[in-house]
Structure 1
Amino acid sequence: MTVTFAIVGRPNVGKSTLFNRLIGRQHAIVDDQPGVTRDRREGQGYLASLAFAVIDTAGLEEADDGSLEARMRRQTEMAIRDANITLMVVDAKAGVTPVDKFFASEIRKSGARVVLLANKCEGKAGAAGLSEAWALGLGEPVPISAAHGEGLVDLHDAMLAAAQAIGLGDVLTGDADDDSDDHLFTDADGLDEKLDADGNPIDVWQDEQVNQPMRIAIVGRPNMGKSTLINSLIDEDRLLTGPEAGITRDSIEVPFQWHGKPYKLVDTAGMRRRARIADKVEKLMVDDALRAVQYAHLCVLLIDANEEIHKQDLTIARLIEDEGRAIVIGANKWDAVRDKQAASGQISDRLQTSLAQLRGVPVVQMSGLHKKGLSKLLDAADEMYSIWNTRISTGRLNRWLDTMLEAHPPPLVEGRRLRIRYMTQIKTRPPTFALFVSRPADLPESYLRYLTSGLRADFGLRGVPIRMVMRKRENPFAPS
């Protein structure tokens, strides 16, 4: 069991800065512009001896039903309901506002256990606001500065006292039995190669990756239905959705199980061409989405099946390939396609001509909104994840290599034929191979493409990135 704290307050009081401080890294997007955070974001927090879950939330605002702000507020209310303790943050520099008073009253009515934090109390600037915070009726305000790391001892004591008051003090300090799964994840790039005495890879990776959840990043252009897809998969309105483009800003991680198998879904902001991005916050959003791709095992690239494949869709696919991630393409909104045969052919033709380096990548026809094709999407993800983890023995590789060399020998360079002496797989995730070549710099790209195509066809490595590393074996008899 874990104690959960929800950080709430009106916009721009420093909630995301506090969230980043508690989890120990820059995870949530922070900017002076109010209302940057929209979805609630969860992380593992630590403060001295305390370990806990923490939720960052959107700024509380009064809004009409149906508006984006109203949907954001409902997400915050869900976070308060799901948390054990609420950390309400006010801006001590700005002082207590009518909005602070309104939502303090609403939180009191909810019956939630509350710790009141007066943020931005560095120096003497927040003294007046700290005094005003008493009037909110939420107990003694704790003066802190999330940006400067001040007041953390008082925050520690206040959080522990609140947990003890509801009988969770032992859980917060780690004295209770812990059967959590907090350490299931390993490095996103997978395991480095392990070699035997002769320098050949040892196939131990399978045992070391048991129970590791697949980390799936849902990516694509704005308004492709990424958040809607995740909500449909988990059967819950966990993420903020709506007709407005660009609702998602932070990359949000959501744990998920399908037929008893654990996954980690990551919602990301829509990616537009960098040349078209002028807003600072949008640049931070795209950078956050790029980090989500880097740390994913597999990316689901959503495209709109009602449109021709966009150039930006292909750019995102190439980015995923460059990062070495596995990929599945989700042709979303398929239920709205009129001529399904023509749409399917158009997608296939465009991928064949413009994405040859990922030949064989699966395209799943689906609808996130209507929950159609979700099983096929996850089946395809499982299959591509397995291919991404493929390990081929050195013996099989070199028997295959002899056949390929016999069918098409390497070219001549300065009257002498290049020699490929040996081949071994040095890494999975993605499959990476070392070729020992007499003159590595002279082996043409066309011959590497020939070998790569052969690997895809003969070992079933369809649709995943393949890496080739050139190495030159030193002559032990050469003079030093």
Structure 2
Amino acid sequence: MPLPVVAIVGRPNVGKSTLFNRLVGKKLALVDDRPGVTRDRREGDATLLGLEFKLIDTAGFEDEDAQSLPGRMRQQTEAAALSADVALYLFDSRAGVTPLDETIAQWLRSLDTVVIPVANKAEGKAGETGIIEAYALGLGDPIPFSAEHGEGLVDLFEALRPHIEREEEYPDEPEDPFADGPLKLAIVGRPNAGKSTLVNKMLGEERMITGPEAGITRDSITIDWQWKDRDVRLIDTAGLRRRAKVEDKLERLSAADTRHAVDFAEVVVLLLDATRGLEAQDLRIASDVIEEGRALMIAINKWDVAENPSGLLNGIRGALEEGLAQVKGLPVITVSAFTGRGIDQLLETAFAIREEWSKRVSTGQLNRWFERALEANPPPAPGGKRIKLRYITQARTRPPTFILFGNRVDELPESYRRYLVNGIRKELGFGGVPVRLTMRASKNPFGNK
């Protein structure tokens, strides 16, 4: 389905091409202080905080004879506005509303196209009078904006979203673009946890040297392999001890190589020794993996010789919940590198959490959840001053990263941030993968007035 179309219209030299360049992310349109630089329509694919649409930059609208060059340019602008889903009517708030602005507004009111008035050059206080004057144009509330500095993007997003977001363009469960690529799976853990033995069992051959001595593996070894016709890039790593205990230069290099392997991986398996349980060093390794944004799962090896397995499993899960507050619900799998027990379940889980780690949620679905979350538990009002959270967008995947826009977000308590992150995991299907949430204040220059 074609993208929604948004046209930028306005008189000459109000900043249309500057806005066009900002939204398409490239300097495609020439920009100069002289009026009339843009003559033909220019199109580009634009993205605004998750919204995608086709953007049209138009020539400055001038009230001239239709046969003249300015008149022919105006015809191009009129055609663009008529074919668009939304017209952004840009005016110079510092210059105020001119007679030509009033003419353009009158023409726009006669169209079926949705019109959003945008008060450009509104940084500082110089544009306040022009914004007040614009209410008389009969096009609704003008959006204070600065195409030059990018201020007002939040307000523009909120105004555009109801008119151009279409559910069929944003399926609830977007396909994982990495689903057909090899799963990059790293096995990490303390020395002698059985990492190389597990890799050998997976491969069905003695590919890695193993033995009772700790620290046999020194380099991270990458092996391309297939499991049930699915490609896996398996990475065996050197054991990680507490840094304070690492004195040998070669062991320091091996540890650095392991950390590099974690950076390369998509999913990291932290292998525990069932005969030793969960130790402080395991939590440090897990925390480092999460900090790097990798999808993490726990595998408890030597399960075939574990004592009191039920109590051990519950104890490890409880310690993980307490010791890794930044991620809840990590997958915990029991395996035996000696017998091969649990290896299929480990790999099935690894593919599943990679899918969660790579998932993108549509802006519409995300903000519907966000509105429900705010309604169920509104943000606090420290000092009696209300914190206004405006909307949320997913900035990236792998790991899933979200940006929350609002006013006074720097005063939002950590407990409320955890409430939102846990809601994202639970309600939007991100399970135990690391979720990053960044706060960003809305840059509306009139937001506090």
Task: Give the letter aligned to residue 378 of structure 1.
Answer: L
Task: Name the residue aligned to 1:396.
Answer: 365
Q: How does 1:116-131 map to 2 (within 5 A)?
A: none
Give the Cα–Cα distance (whole angstroms) in 1 for the partners of residues 296 and 410 of structure 2: 30
Task: Name the residue aligned to 2:134.
Answer: none
User: Is 1:426 the counterpart of 2:276 in the alignment?
Assistant: no
Task: Name the residue aligned to 1:199.
Answer: 49
Which of 236, 250, 253 aligns to 1:284? It is: 253
Task: Name the residue aligned to 1:321.
Answer: 290
Task: Name the residue aligned to 1:415.
Answer: 384
Give the Cα–Cα distance (whole angstroms) in 1 for the partners of residues 178 and 316 of structure 2: 35
Deviation at 1:338, TM superposition (A): 3.0
In the superposition, the TM-score normalised over structure 2's length comes to 0.61
Percent sequence identity is: 46
Deviation at 1:353, TM superposition (A): 1.8
Superposed CA RMSD in Å reads 2.0
Which of 179, 184, 189 aligns to 1:220? It is: 189
User: Is 1:347 the counterpart of 2:316 in the alignment?
Assistant: yes
Which of 241, 248, 272 aligns to 2:210? It is: 241
Task: Name the residue aligned to 1:155.
Answer: none
Task: Give the letter aligned to residue 198 of structure 1.
Answer: L
> Residue 360 of structure 1 aligns to a residue in which SS?
coil
Q: How does 1:371-390 map to 2 (within 5 A)?
A: 371-390=340-359
Deviation at 1:208, TM superposition (A): 4.7
> Residue 312 of structure 1 aligns to a residue in which SS?
helix
- Residues 224, 201 of structure 1: CA spacing in aligned structure 2 closer, same or farther, 3 A cutoff? farther
Task: Name the residue aligned to 1:462.
Answer: 431
Structure with bigger gyration radius: 2
Task: Give the letter aligned to residue 397 of structure 2.
Answer: T
Deviation at 1:478, TM superposition (A): 7.8
Which of 472, 475, 478 aligns to 2:441? It is: 472
Give a deviation string over 1:14-66, Cα, whole Å, max 9, x none. xxxxxxxxxxxxxxxxxxxxxxxxxxxxxxxxxxxxxxxxxxxxxxxxxxxxx
> Residue 397 of structure 1 aligns to a residue in which SS?
helix
Larger deviation, residues 220-229 vs 349-358? 349-358
Deviation at 1:201, TM superposition (A): 5.5
Give the Cα–Cα distance (whole angstroms) in 1 for the partners of residues 326 and 199 of structure 2: 28
> Residue 468 of structure 1 aligns to a residue in which SS?
strand
Asked if the contact 1:306–1:343 (Cα under 8 Å) also holds between the matched residues in 2, the reply is no
Give the Cα–Cα distance (whole angstroms) in 2 for the partners of residues 318 and 201 of structure 1: 34
Deviation at 1:452, TM superposition (A): 0.8
- Residues 217, 201 of structure 1: CA spacing in aligned structure 2 closer, same or farther, 3 A cutoff? farther
Asked if the contact 2:404–2:438 (Cα under 8 Å) also holds between the matched residues in 1, the reply is yes
Q: How does 1:173-188 map to 2 (within 5 A)?
A: none
Give the Cα–Cα distance (whole angstroms) in 1 for the partners of residues 48 and 285 of structure 2: 40
Deviation at 1:308, TM superposition (A): 2.5
Task: Give the letter aligned to residue 364 of structure 1.
Answer: I
Asked if the contact 1:358–1:462 (Cα under 8 Å) also holds between the matched residues in 2, the reply is no
Which of 213, 231, 235 aligns to 1:262? It is: 231
Asked if the contact 2:176–2:359 (Cα under 8 Å) also holds between the matched residues in 1, the reply is no
Asked if the contact 1:331–1:364 (Cα under 8 Å) also holds between the matched residues in 2, the reply is yes
Give the Cα–Cα distance (whole angstroms) in 2 for the partners of residues 200 and 475 of structure 1: 19
Give a deviation string over 1:311-352, Cα, whole Å, max 9, x none. 001111111110000011110000001322122222122122
Task: Name the residue aligned to 1:253.
Answer: 222
Task: Name the residue aligned to 1:232.
Answer: 201
Give the Cα–Cα distance (whole angstroms) in 2 for the partners of residues 209 and 341 of structure 1: 36
Task: Name the residue aligned to 1:151.
Answer: none
Larger deviation, residues 249-258 vs 332-341? 332-341
Task: Name the residue aligned to 2:83.
Answer: none
Give the Cα–Cα distance (whole angstroms) in 1 for the partners of residues 447 and 377 of structure 2: 30
> Residue 434 of structure 1 aligns to a residue in which SS?
strand
> Residue 404 of structure 2 aligns to a residue in which SS?
strand
Give the Cα–Cα distance (whole angstroms) in 2 for the partners of residues 258 and 223 of structure 1: 25
Asked if the contact 1:387–1:461 (Cα under 8 Å) also holds between the matched residues in 2, the reply is yes
User: Is 1:335 the counterpart of 2:185 in the alignment?
Assistant: no
Asked if the contact 1:221–1:312 (Cα under 8 Å) also holds between the matched residues in 2, the reply is yes
- Residues 477, 437 of structure 1: CA spacing in aligned structure 2 closer, same or farther, 3 A cutoff? closer
In the superposition, the TM-score normalised over structure 1's length comes to 0.57
Larger deviation, residues 298-307 vs 437-446? 437-446
> Residue 417 of structure 1 aligns to a residue in which SS?
coil
Which of 262, 272, 294 aligns to 2:263? It is: 294
Give the Cα–Cα distance (whole angstroms) in 1 for the partners of residues 200 and 430 of structure 2: 31
> Residue 315 of structure 1 aligns to a residue in which SS?
helix
Task: Name the residue aligned to 1:136.
Answer: none
User: Tell me, which stretches of 5 or more residues in structure 1 are unaligned?
Assistant: 1-194
Q: How does 1:59-138 map to 2 (within 5 A)?
A: none
Deviation at 1:276, TM superposition (A): 0.7
Task: Give the letter aligned to residue 432 of structure 2.
Answer: G
